[in-house]
Structure formats: C-alpha cells, structure tokens
Amino acid sequence: TQLLEQSPQFLSIQEGENLTVYCNSSSVFSSLQWYRQEPGEGPVLLVTVVTGGEVKKLKRLTFQFGDARKDSSLHITAAQPGDTGLYLCARDNTDKLIFGTGTRLQVFP
C-alpha cells in the first residue's frame, strides 16, 4: 500500500497567519482529495484535484496538485480559529481511498 506522507504533523499558529501543509507520495496518483476532520466528527471532503498543476480555491483555502501528480499542497490565508482541525489528504486507489497521516492544525485567537 502506497502511503501518503503529510507535513508538518502538527501546526500551531495565531489567527491571521498564513500556512501551507503538504501531501507527498513516491508514486503518481490519478486524483487527490483533501478532507478536514473536526474533533468528535468524521472527515468532510473539501476538494478533489485531478489534473497535474491544477489549482483550486475554496474561500481562503488554496489547493494545488503537483505537475507530476505526486504531491499536493493546501495553503490557508489569514487563518481563523474555525480552521482548527485535522487535515487529511487521500488518494484514489481503484475502489478505495488511501489516507495520509494528517496535519493537525490549531489556530489560536
């Protein structure tokens, strides 16, 4: 099973700061999904990226798929306490998703 490496593992920042989290694999994948999981809840899909070099924006969140389709990044501009949570990337593998280890983000007011 090809694992997805996410970095950093933990991130604590002040409200208003910018941040980037990364998702990397040694193999090419056809698409990548980003989920956010809040405490006590299941993950919720944020976005899917499919094309190499693709950039998608979701309000203050910008998602990028690497040109070689081996990596992806999530950039948050002016982070808010409501952005706090566990960010997971997941790659499609035939009939299942393989998840990364996650980045736990804490945004302090």
Partner 1 sequence: EAQVTQNPRYLITVTGKKLTVTCSQNMNHEYMSWYRQDPGLGLRQIYYSMNVEVTDKGDVPEGYKVSRKEKRNFPLILESPSPNQTSLYFCASSSIFIRQGEGYEQYFGPGTRLTVT
| CB nearer to partner 1: pick between 102 and 107 | 102
Q: Is 33 in the site for partner 1 (CB under 8 A)?
A: yes
Distances in Å between the Cα of 74 and the Cα atoms of 22, 57, 66, 78, 96 are 6, 10, 11, 13, 22
75's tokens: 């950039």
Q: Measured from the CB of residue 90, what is the shortest distance to partner 1 in angstroms?
A: 8
Q: Measured from the CB of residue 12, what is the shortest distance to partner 1 in angstroms?
A: 17
Q: Is 38 in the site for partner 1 (CB under 8 A)?
A: no
Q: SS in 3 state form for 49-89?
A: ECCCCCEEEECCEEEEECCCCCEEEEEECCCCHHHCEEEEE
| CB nearer to partner 1: pick between 35 and 107 | 35
Q: Which residues bind partner 1 (CB under 8 A)?
A: 1, 4, 30-33, 40-45, 48-50, 88, 90-92, 95-102
